């Protein structure tokens, strides 16, 4: 099924900037478990959907609460 093929290692984001996270086009792939610099909605490596934000506010609130 969906699995990492190693392609993502070529396009992984070396310097993720939280401030301009969305603008930089850096996205998180949950399957490959890394941030990649890719201008698409699916990972070119594993073909799974990418997240534009690694921080889940809801989960953070739950932990704090």
Is the CB of 26 or the CB of 32 nearer to Zn ion? Answer: 32
Is 26 a binder of Zn ion (CB under 5 A)? Answer: no
Helices (H), 1-65: 8-11, 57-64
Our CB check for Zn ion shows the closer of 26 and 43 to be 43
Burial of 52 from C-beta contacts in 10 A (0-12 / 13-18 / 19+): exposed
- The answer to whether 24 contacts Zn ion (rule: CB under 5 A) is no
Q: How many CB atoms lie within 10 A of CB 46?
A: 20
Residue 43 lies near Zn ion (rule: CB under 5 A): yes
List of residues contacting Zn ion (CB under 5 A):
4, 8, 29, 31-32, 43, 45-46
């Amino acid at each position: 099924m969906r699995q990492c093929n190693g392609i993502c290692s070529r396009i992984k984001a070396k310097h993720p900037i939280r401030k301009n996270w969305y603008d930089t086009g850096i996205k998180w792939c949950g399957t490959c478990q890394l941030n990649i610099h890719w201008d698409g909605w699916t990972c070119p490596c594993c073909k799974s959907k990418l997240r534009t934000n690694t921080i889940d506010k809801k989960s953070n609130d739950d932990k704090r609460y």
